[in-house]
Structure 1
Amino acid sequence: MQEARKPRILVTNDDGVGSANMHALAGALSPFGEVFVFAPKTEQSGISHAFTVRRGLHVEQIPCTDGYSVFSMDGTPSDCAKFALGHFAAYGLSTEGGGPGPFDVCFSGINVGENSGVSSLYSGTVAGAREAALWGVPGIALSLRGAGSTLLQAAVDFAVKVVEARLYEKIPAGIFWNVNFPKATAETFKGFKATKMALGMFTDHYSHEGGMWQLDGDKLWDKQPVDSDDYLLNQGYATVTPHRIDQTDEKSLEVINEMLAGGACG
């Protein structure tokens, strides 16, 4: 009986190819699959789903002896996932074939800083997982709330479990997971919750210093719905929020069709 092929795993991020968190993730996953890292050459936080079309992209393989392959790209997280899934899988670093084959799952992260609620709309980390979903590959974004988070190992263990148990196969087409870990210790961490995306906006404000405008603000964490990612993350839970590619609002389609049928725009 032929042994099942190990899953082929793509890892990307928006903190850059030198991120210790990302390498901890890739190293932990390498015994359980064939791991390829494609990450931005420099930090790309807050760049959302931007990608590069008006210049070429430089791809460089970085030496790695830790059981996985590493490639640096002078682009965005979306560029990294797009190139890996749309070209490298089939062709490698050539144009004539020789790629490793289709990827089974994509992890983006592990990010320094939360990407729950509306943060997910701005996040380059989340965009990496979203790009995977666009290619029909299960995508999972992983983020830690706060630069001093002590739950890196919990995030790594979660990703390993997802691969070991092939839980990524439960992610439907057009869906990706946004997973956030709280500010907590191993002792105060409350476990996982499936959550909705919070919609509360930041308390954005700008200060004017030295002729420059500087953005600052935070979230009203406890004023979000009690079943939302922002609220439960603030309570000490890791949140698993399913996002979808299709952003169409079906109810509004009815309103627009009635409006058009009535000649309002004719």
Structure 2
Amino acid sequence: MQDYPKTRVLIANDDGIQSGYMLALACALVPYADVCVFAPEVEQSGVGHAFTVRRGLSVKKVEIAENSAIEAYSMSGTPADCVKFALGHFATHGLTTEGAGPGAFDVCFSGVNLGENSGVSSLYSGTVAGAREAALWGVPGIALSLRGTTANMLETAKEFAVNVVKNRLFERIPVGVFWNVNFPKATAETFKGFKATKMALGMFTDHYSHENGLWQLDGDKLWDEQPKDSDDYLLNQGYATITPHRIDQTDEESLNEINNMLAGGDLMSF
């Protein structure tokens, strides 16, 4: 086996710096990597890929009592802010404006999140945004989410991440691509293994209730009505799903159609 330098791992999340699930992932990776955590100081679930501009961000070093080998920081911003700052500034400058940083990161894990982020959930998810932000910087990104809180699925998520790092599987993620990985509500007996899947497009069964002058959103997914090769469907069947997402969202077929419209004078051209 080729001798590699120790992998540098960045971990972010949207559940916040106090998340025990994120800490469990960090502790699991310490024997195999240099681990650095950048996480929001408070929960940021559902913020999507929002980032902070026109106001400052605070960054505070956090002591992780469970494992002193973990370098950790909390930020006042979103998950995307955390990854953006870690990759775009901290890696090269540290916590200074002109000093030297600790060096580039090899892979970014976002999670482990409490709650699934499959299908259209991935479009709203701060956890998935953390992995997407890494991919924007050319760093392999992997979002990890639990549909249920069953402890052994957390163990499976940790084992998955350890395997990715030990075998350097992150190097096989193409530039501009990131993985969205979801783990089911399952026990050791009912867990069916891993599946490579497509992203389901079925929308939530959204509805709003009105209480005390406020509108409260609720709803779920029509899990079994999704395509049988999709993440929502297979996650609901007891599989862990690995769905590759692309940064480039251009629809080539529509691009060609728009060019035809322009060429034919159907759209205004200048």
Shorter-chain TM-score tier:
over 0.9
Counterpart secondary structure, 1:88: helix
SS at match of 2:77: coil
Unpaired runs of at least 5, structure 1: none
After superposition, where does 1:72-91 map in structure 2 within 5 Å? Answer: 72-91=74-93
Match of 2:168 in 1: 166
1:23-172 equivalences in 2 (<5 Å): 23-65=23-65, 66=67, 67-148=69-150, 150-172=152-174
Mapped to 1, the partners of 2:224 and 2:173 lie a distance apart of 29
* Aligned-partner SS, 1:255: helix
Asked if residue 12 in structure 1 is aligned to residue 12 in structure 2, the reply is yes
* TM-aligned CA distance change 1:257 to 1:94, over 3 Å: same
1: CA distance, partners of 2:4 / 2:98: 28
Deviation track 1:143-191 (CA, whole Å, cap 9, x = no partner) reads: 0003456410000000000000000000000000000000001111000
Amino acid of the residue matched to residue 121 of structure 2?
A: S
Question: Mean Cα displacement is larger for which, 60-69 or 234-243?
Answer: 60-69
Distance between the aligned counterparts of 1:60 and 1:247, measured in 2? 35
What is the CA distance between 1:3 and its match in structure 2? 5.1
Q: Distance in 1 between matches of 2:169 and 2:53?
A: 34
When the two structures are superposed, what TM-score results if normalisation uses the length of structure 2?
A: 0.96
CA contact (8 A) 1:149 1:183 kept: no
Partner Cα distance (1:176, 1:98) in 2: 28
* In 1, Cα distance between equivalents of 2:150 and 2:194: 20
Cα distance in 2 for partners of 1:87, 1:217 equals 39
SS in 1 for 2:227: coil
**Change over 3 Å in CA distance of 1:112–1:190 after alignment to 2:** same
Q: How many residues align?
A: 265
What is residue 250 of structure 1 aligned with on the other side? 252
Kindly indicate whether the alpha-carbon contact (under 8 Å) linking 1:150 and 1:183 is maintained by their aligned counterparts in 2. Answer: no
Q: CA deviation at 1:220?
A: 0.2
Contact 2:204 2:220 in 1 (8 A): yes
Q: Distance in 2 between matches of 1:3 and 1:46?
A: 40
Structure 1 CA distance for aligned equivalents of residues 75 and 96 of structure 2: 15
Question: What SS does the aligned partner of 2:81 have?
Answer: helix
Q: Determine the C-alpha separation between the residues in 2 that align with 1:185 and 1:128.
A: 28
Aligned partner letter, 1:111: N
Aligned amino acid, residue 92 of structure 1: G
Contact 2:149–2:185 (CA under 8 A) maintained in structure 1: no
Q: Which runs of 5+ in 2 are unaligned?
A: none
SS at match of 2:265: coil
**Shift in Å at residue 96 of structure 1?**
1.7
Question: Is 1:221 the counterpart of 2:233 in the alignment?
Answer: no
Which of residues 197, 200, 209 is equivalent to 1:198? 200
Counterpart of 1:181 in structure 2 is 183
Aligned letter for 2:55? R
Give the whole-Å Cα distance in 1 for the aligned partners of 2:99 and 2:252: 42
SS of residue paired to 1:81: helix
Cα displacement (A) at 1:119 = 0.1
Any idea what SS the aligned residue of 1:151 has? helix
Give the stretch that moved more between structures: 111-120 or 94-103.
94-103
Cα displacement (A) at 1:254: 1.0
The root-mean-square deviation of aligned C-alpha atoms, in Å, is: 1.1
Q: Which amino acid aligns with 2:12?
A: T
Does the Cα contact within 8 Å between 1:108 and 1:139 map onto a contact in 2? yes
CA distance, structure 1, for counterparts of residue 95 and residue 260 of structure 2: 51
TM-score (norm 1): 0.98
The Cα of 1:265 is off from its aligned counterpart by: 1.8
